[in-house]
Structures are given as structure tokens and as C-alpha cells.
């Protein structure tokens, strides 16, 4: 089975001692998935350049979009999620319940899954890597039963 390529959407913000939340997920899932990290895989030059690269090189060439939500929903991540949905790619929202009280309803409407907390996000992505996208229901069921 081929490794799932996961686009990591969301603000560039620290998390629990990590320079950015992406470092946490990449460390926990380094053997399970491949990642597109817009901080390092996109040239952070002009807005036109990085938006294009994030969408075409990132979202279009990834299998899923994983959006770590640290506010009600930012425009850039919403566009990335919308593009993924239009390309029939699963959008997973992972809500940081320590800082988010409400998620924008447009984001909820396009997400396939909504996960609460980074630990549950890691568990879901590990299950997804184990079962594959074609068995996504089995992956989410395993995570739901573990709580």
C-alpha cells in the first residue's frame, strides 16, 4: 500500500514546546505518512507564488488535507480545504480545544471528519495510514472506539 500524502493546513503557530504544530505531527507520524509542509515545501516569497504553490504543489498532489484549527478558521486554510473538497480529497479538521470555541460553519460543512485534540488527530492519521483511504470508515471507527 502506498503511503498517504497529507497536506498540513493551518496557521504557523507553536504547540507544546514545538516551534510549529506541524513538527509534533511529523514526529509522531514520520514512519506512517508523507507530508507536504507549506513552511518548508513552498517558497515563502510573494503571495501569488506561495498561494499557487500551496494549492498546486501541495493540495493537488496530496491525498488528504489535515487542517489543525487554532482559530475559527483562516482564509488561506479555508481555500485549501475548499480546493481539496472540489478535487474529492478528504478534509480533516483537527480542533485545538484549548484555543478554539467555535469553528466557522463553512469549514464544518466541507470536512469529512472533525477530530478533537492533537492526540486524537495522531491516532486517526495512524489508523488511516494502517487501513488506507479506501477503508477510511474502519480507521475512524477504530479511533471512535478507543475513546
What is the share, in percent, of the chain residues with pLDDT greater than 90? Answer: 74
What is the share, in percent, of the chain residues with pLDDT greater than 70? Answer: 99
Q: Give pTM, 2 decimals.
A: 0.94
Q: CA–CA separation, 88 vs 91, rounded Å?
A: 9
**CA 120 centroid distance within chain:** 13
Backbone phi, psi, residue 113, to 5°: -135, 150
Reported as a single tens digit per residue, the pLDDT across 80-94 is 999 999 999 999 999
Q: Which helix (H) or strand (E) holds 86?
A: helix 75-86
Which numeric CATH code is attached to 5-146?
3.40.50.450
Q: CA–CA separation, 42 vs 82, rounded Å?
A: 19
- Residue-range domain boundaries for the chain: 5-146
Amino acid at each position: 500500500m502506498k503511503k498517504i500524502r497529507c497536506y498540513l493546513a493551518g496557521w504557523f503557530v507553536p504547540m507544546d514546546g514545538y516551534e510549529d504544530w506541524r513538527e509534533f505531527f511529523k514526529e509522531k507520524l514520520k514512519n506512517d505518512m508523507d507530508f507536504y509542509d507549506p513552511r518548508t515545501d513552498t517558497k515563502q516569497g510573494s503571495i501569488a507564488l506561495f498561494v499557487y504553490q500551496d494549492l498546486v504543489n501541495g493540495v493537488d498532489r496530496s491525498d488528504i488535507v489535515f487542517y489543525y484549527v487554532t482559530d475559527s478558521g483562516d482564509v488561506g486554510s479555508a481555500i485549501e480545504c475548499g480546493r481539496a473538497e472540489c478535487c474529492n480529497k478528504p478534509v480533516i479538521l483537527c480542533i485545538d480545544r484549548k484555543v478554539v470555541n467555535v469553528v466557522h460553519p463553512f469549514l464544518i460543512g466541507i470536512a469529512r471528519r472533525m477530530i478533537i485534540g492533537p492526540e486524537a488527530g495522531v491516532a486517526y492519521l495512524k489508523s488511516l495510514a494502517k487501513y488506507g483511504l479506501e477503508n477510511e470508515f474502519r480507521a475512524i471507527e477504530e479511533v471512535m472506539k478507543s475513546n
